[in-house]
Structure 1
Amino acid sequence: MSDTGLVPVAEKVSALAAEHAEEADRTRRLAPEVVAAVREAGFARHFVAKSYGGSEGGFTEFTQAVIAVGEGCASTAWCASLSALSARYATHLPRLGHDELWADSPDTFIVTAQPPMGKATVTQGGHRLSGRWSYVSGVDFADWALVCGMVATGGEPEARFFALPRKDFTVVEAWDNAGMRATSSHTVIVDDVFVPEHLSYLRADFVSGQNGTSDLPAHNVPFQAVGGLTFAAPAVGAAYGAFHAATDALRGKKVNVSQGVDLCRASAQIDAARFLVEQNAQVLDERTFTPRLMARCERNATFTADSVVEAVGALVRAAGTSGLSESSPLQRFWRDVVSASSHVALRYETAAVRTWPAALIGE
């Protein structure tokens, strides 16, 4: 397992984010000092090559760091997670693209829009791209956006990713979710922008994890194995935050048997969820990409989402009315966990049902 020092720094980020979490929830925006702390901690550079000043870190360390941040603020953990993994996705760009993104700093903050909602045409030296992408988390403070679009080729259209500097896209504030309010998951609009060839690559490479530019292990991982981890780890961290908030709300009070059962079961569910996401990270670090293990990764992520939603619901029930006070962080963690766990990557119909029959019985 890598040890870049990210985890102990993440614990400091968590403490700072917790101080600003109530304000961030109210204003729907992370405090500038929290964004700076995430960047300085090394999340954006975690998977970047050392040749560009990056950390070349691993998935287990990354997962533990995201969970740590999530205990303080789920929105901060979500953005930290995506900043690291978006940079990993950008490593599929040609080498000139790496130079443009990281030549000046390994801490370039990149955001990703995976659905192929744009349209592009081939032109001399690259493509012209237009499109509109919703729910692009962290875009308020992004330096670059990695967006996906369909390209007309004369035959079957192909899906490609395009890397765009901040000046080439517009942000429309459209995120109004009840939870994860400070993730800045807004809409990105691109209007007939030229994207040079070195800032584009095939979506098929992203899905397969076969990186033609970098041979670093973390840059060659199938998306199926890693996708759910992106969103499950922040939710697990937030569930721990909810547990601490619930026990704080009950401190000094007489706890009845029903409340004790809820606390006991919730703590076990959250620990089990952590085990499952760390099991996923271990698969990624050990590079054991068999169909069965990749299906297990998707199962783990979806089951984790179910588990933490149930656990936090029990914590709210145990804490009672005081836990639902607007001044209580418990209700914020509850909203955040439910919102995070609703992500399409954490649904059984998109993950487990799609992969398990083939992986287990050879369909």
Structure 2
Amino acid sequence: MAHEVVERVEQYGPKLAELAVENEKLGRLSDETVGLLRSAGVLRLLQPTKFGGYAAHPRDFAEAVMAVARHDGAAGWVCGVVGVHPWEVAQMDPRVAQEIWGENQDTWIASPYMPNGIAEPVDGGYVLSGRWPFSSGTDHCDWVFLGALVGDGKGRPASPPSVLHVILPRSSYEIIDDTWDVIGLSGTGSKDVVVDGAFIPTYRTVNQDEVSAGEAAVGNGVTEALYRLPFTSMFPLGITSAVIGICEGALDVHLAQQRDRVAVTGVQVRDDPYVLYSAGEAAAEIAASRVQLIDGISRVYEQVAAGEPVSVEERSRVRRNQVRCAWRAVSALDEIFARSGGNVIRRDNALQRYWRDAHVGLAHMIHVPGAAYHANSLAQMGLELPPQLRVLI
């Protein structure tokens, strides 16, 4: 059962936390960390049961990602990003899943989805070229999802623009080392990938609009509610879950360190009402973020399972709240970080790594509040969303 995955994560938790330092130094997840994640089964939660997955409720996926990130932010981030990809594969032509998991059900798939390449139509498919940064966990993946603009035959995007999600095997792209030198989430190994004229058969592609609206699955005969959820609800889920889990882990470390800390005034921190007030408030804010994020994806799941359409207003509400969850949790982390004492800045203090990881996670485009809040306000007024806002809702 899916809940067993979280139990295994907690069992491996102390080791995951110990390995976090090594992951940061390596600039990618260590092989030992990856072995623990594979053993726990986190990245198979959204994978079809036919290929050894759990086809779990997205709530279970979010809770597992949070559990990992609570011990190691980078490992949680990779679980949140890479763990969504089996969900999308399940919506595609069945040949894709067979190619990926037919021989190894623990095969991982990287991304990113930003349309940084041009896919020129050719007989039977497309020829793709481009360069994509931020491919999290890519060293441990054998396939990659990439976003691409359909070309006009002359190396330029067609008009009007059309965006595809395409999937390629490891032999068709190059990982560029030394492209991940960052201040946080260093252990994610989110390196650049390059594709130079790779052929992609049509069946390994899916239209972004169709997967965003939850329509791709139906076209391939997939009926489970899980695989008919909107991409714009599912993709942000893993990323925000990682950020909330990071903040939960930071709170754990803060409380453990403050328990016996003596301030420069000679007063034990446990007797300082101001520090304790901040810790209590932060705990409430982080807990509220967890609850609201899970509530949003659960509501969408229930609507889809009941055969009800998910309106633009409802999708925009889920996105608005998802963004706010991340900002609320990181703001709470800032409050306790500022009251953790001077030793918090030392490299061997785990709290500073959680703090850096959380802020880098907050910088992901899926957490930019402007467009999400703007779109939700228009939707609540019953007004039409312009195309540039609809694409993220």
Which category describes the TM-score, using the shorter chain as reference length? over 0.9
Matches within 5 A, 1:48-197: 48-152=47-151, 156=159, 157-173=161-177, 174-197=179-202
The C-alpha deviation readout for 1:26-68, integer Å capped at 9, x for no partner, is 2222110111221232223222222222211111111111111
How many pairs are equivalent?
Answer: 361
After superposing the two structures, state which structure 1 stretch, 136-145 or 225-234, moved more: 225-234
**CA shift in 2, pair 1:106/1:287, >3 Å:** farther
Given the alignment, which residue of 240, 245, 253 partners 1:237?
Answer: 245
Given the alignment, which residue of 252, 275, 283 partners 2:260?
Answer: 252
Identity of counterpart residues, as a percentage?
25
CA distance in 2 between partners of 1:329 and 1:247 (Å)? 12
CA distance in 2 between partners of 1:248 and 1:4 (Å)? 27
Indicate conservation of the 8 Å contact 1:60/1:285, yes or no: no
Report the counterpart of residue 293 of structure 1 in structure 2.
314
- The alpha carbon displacement at 1:14 in A equals 3.1
SS across alignment from 2:238: helix
SS across alignment from 1:287: helix
Given the alignment, which residue of 280, 305, 308 partners 2:326?
Answer: 305
- The alpha carbon displacement at 1:242 in A equals 0.6
- The alpha carbon displacement at 1:153 in A equals 5.5
- The alpha carbon displacement at 1:79 in A equals 0.6
Structure 2 letter corresponding to 1:305: A
**2:296 matches 1:275:** no
CA distance in 2 between partners of 1:112 and 1:226 (Å)? 15
Indicate conservation of the 8 Å contact 2:84/2:235, yes or no: no
Structure 2 letter corresponding to 1:322: N
CA distance in 1 between partners of 2:363 and 2:30 (Å)? 25
Report the counterpart of residue 386 of structure 2 in structure 1.
none
Structure 1: which 5+ runs fail to align?
A: none
Structure 1 letter corresponding to 2:209: A
After superposing the two structures, state which structure 1 stretch, 288-297 or 314-323, moved more: 288-297
CA distance in 2 between partners of 1:276 and 1:228 (Å)? 14
SS across alignment from 1:113: coil
Indicate conservation of the 8 Å contact 2:2/2:45, yes or no: no
Report the counterpart of residue 27 of structure 1 in structure 2.
26
Indicate conservation of the 8 Å contact 1:10/1:66, yes or no: no
Given the alignment, which residue of 355, 358, 361 partners 2:378?
Answer: 358
- The alpha carbon displacement at 1:284 in A equals 3.7
SS across alignment from 2:341: helix
After the TM superposition, which segments of 4 or more aligned residues of structure 1 sit over 4 Å from their partners?
none
Indicate conservation of the 8 Å contact 1:90/1:146, yes or no: no
CA distance in 1 between partners of 2:245 and 2:363 (Å)? 16
Structure 1 letter corresponding to 2:138: V
The C-alpha deviation readout for 1:85-137, integer Å capped at 9, x for no partner, is 01112223212112211212332201121111111112222211111111111
TM-score, length basis structure 2: 0.87
CA distance in 2 between partners of 1:9 and 1:350 (Å)? 38
- The alpha carbon displacement at 1:356 in A equals 0.8
**CA shift in 2, pair 1:276/1:72, >3 Å:** same
- The alpha carbon displacement at 1:296 in A equals 2.0
After superposing the two structures, state which structure 1 stretch, 285-294 or 101-110, moved more: 285-294
The C-alpha deviation readout for 1:143-172, integer Å capped at 9, x for no partner, is 100111112357634221211111111111
SS across alignment from 2:62: helix
- The alpha carbon displacement at 1:4 in A equals 5.5
Structure 2: which 5+ runs fail to align?
A: 262-267, 305-309, 384-393
Indicate conservation of the 8 Å contact 2:125/2:201, yes or no: yes
Indicate conservation of the 8 Å contact 2:254/2:336, yes or no: yes
Indicate conservation of the 8 Å contact 1:71/1:241, yes or no: yes
Report the counterpart of residue 265 of structure 2 in structure 1.
none
| Superposition RMSD in Å | 1.7
Structure 1 letter corresponding to 2:55: E
**2:351 matches 1:330:** yes
**CA shift in 2, pair 1:287/1:14, >3 Å:** farther
